[in-house]
Amino acid sequence: MSKRTLVDLTKKPYNLEKEAIDWVENTIANMSLEEKIGQLFVNMGSSRDEAYLTEMVQKYHIGGVRYNPASASEVYDQNYILQTKSKIPLLIAANTESGGNGACRDGTEVGAQVKLAATQNKKYAYEMGRVGGYEASAIGCNWSFAPVVDINYNWRNPIISTRAYSENPDMVLEFALEYMKGAMENGILPGAKHFPGDGVDERDQHLSYSVNSFSCEEWDKTFGKVYKGLIDAGLPSLMAGHIHMPAYSKKFNPALRDEDLLPATLSKELITDLLRGQLGFNGLVVTDASHMIPMTASMKRSDALPTSIAAGCDLFLFFNDPDEDFGYMMEGYKKGVITNERLHDALRRILGLKAKLGLHKKAKNAIMLPKEEAMKRIGLPENKAIFRKVADNAITLVKDKQNIWPITPTKYKRVLLVDVSGIKGGFGALIGSKENPVQTMKALLEAQGFAVSIWESAEEKIMKLPENERLAAIMNVYAQKRPITDLTDNYDLIINIANSNSGAVVQRLVWPASKGTPDIPFYIYEVPTIFVSVQCPFHLADVPQVRTYINCYDAKKDTLECLVEKMMGKSQFKGVSPVDAYCGLIDTKI
């Protein structure tokens, strides 16, 4: 290994004094081989049972934890057990991408990253880091897999749709730096992701290979600019993505054939040569989750574990089977896949972050705040109020080509709400909003004096029929026609609400088999129509015909309350889209 890629604990992001470095070196010197190998793992906790947690830290000697969501009280108790039972203090990670709600279910959400960027005000990125850090650190976390610093170059990409700040690398860097500052001032070390950068490919690396196809020159000006800016500012850690980058892989290793290319998590060229060498990153690298397809389909799992560490990653994210994976990593070391130098470099980086946090100075039972004090930090009213301020400043009137404002009960008494859906399931079903925006909007509009109906699709009606009648109904659904007067005589305004979560295989709208019904906005010249997306900012590609299109970025009640205020003229639309909501298509602008 080149000396230029070995860690220097006296320099950023560690900046450790002799006493802390001595602790790192003495700890390593007194570790058994099993303890050294165990430190390379971050476990995804599958239980909060004390016996299970104790076994994970004492049998497998894990270096870190990323846990399943729970209440603040449950997470606190879990983390207290982990820290008091572990011989070496742990890195405990949350996923505070949008605020403290990523650390505990009752934590405070500030907003999705694209929503914050739509405010054009970087102070909200700082606030998101601050609030997330304040709440996460209170319950015993000290590390976060955030911010997302991917760049939204491809509107078809379903995984970073709302999780990336912008399509502009300067804005991504500016907002990420503010987030980093807010988090670190409140006891949380950020881990930017997903190196070398998602947003060029349209595929989701949870489910398939993903490629950053930029040339070296293009990457330097975009993703490279962002990562270099964060590194220069003292970024403590980053997450390597399961993302291929052929240009730089072949630059550092011209002999590589296409079939030999590996994702960053397994690539020496991308982690050691590019990240450590060219960019000078002195911090810690953790892999993305190891059950994702680009890693599992690249080589045998028994090879992938040690290969990831040999490539330059320091922490391996998630056991599959603890005994099996521990054995694979140990065998990789004994076979020389992981050299002694690389193992100890990884350990210095891991323990160096723990020392940076001051964990080595604290008694095990004093690492965390007293529980009563910790619980008082969760959900403070002044922190919760930030969400509404973000919503007020972020909601974006993307397209406005009809004389419709303001909407009032006098002008548009009878309103039809149409639920427009996307593909169900996927990662987005786990992380996305659970609110029903159509029902919420109905209540909000009725409170303002509108008479509101919700469209029931033909498919929904068919499913309510007796089973023996469904086939005939299905056969007839495509042929169904209705007079336009069914709409014009009954409704003064139609509002389509698209609630397609980020993280499915694709994030496009799915139209029903019927036609001539309100499901698809064919009636834009018949009845005034507003199309609202409460998740994906790119739905205009599927409804280019609509003349009024709004991006809300989430479906929370506070956001929809702000939306109603703006539609009724009680507040201005202030958001500016940080991505190309027109999706590069000419017809979306007509």
Measured between alpha carbons, how far is residue 519 from residues 221, 417, 422, 555, 583 in Å?
Answer: 43, 10, 12, 19, 22
Q: CB-hemisphere CA count at 13 Å for 571?
A: 19
Residues 6+ apart with CB under 8 A from 462: 470, 473, 474, 477
Q: Does the active-site annotation cover 345?
A: no
Q: Are 253 and 311 in contact (CB under 8 A)?
A: no
Q: Are 423 and 493 in contact (CB under 8 A)?
A: no
Rounded to a whole number of angstroms, the CA Rg of the chain reads 26
CA 111, CA 18: separation in Å to the nearest integer?
A: 41
Burial class (CB in 10 A: 0-12, 13-18, 19+), 376: exposed
Q: Tokens 């602790």 map to which residue?
A: 23
CA 43, CA 203: separation in Å to the nearest integer?
A: 26
Residues 6+ apart with CB under 8 A from 152: 114, 160, 161, 164, 166, 167, 199, 579
Q: Which residue in the list 77, 201, 288, 392 is annotated as catalytic?
A: 288
Q: Where are the beta strands (DSSP E) in 298-341?
A: 316-317
CA 546, CA 525: separation in Å to the nearest integer?
A: 9
CA 411, CA 562: separation in Å to the nearest integer?
A: 20
Backbone angles phi, psi at 42, to 5 degrees: -110, 120
State the angle between helix axes of 123-138 and 169-184 in degrees (0 to 180), rounded to the nearest 10.
40
H or E element at residue 453: strand 451-454
Give the single-character DSSP code of 164: S
Q: Are 209 and 202 in contact (CB under 8 A)?
A: no
**Residues annotated catalytic, as ranges:** 288
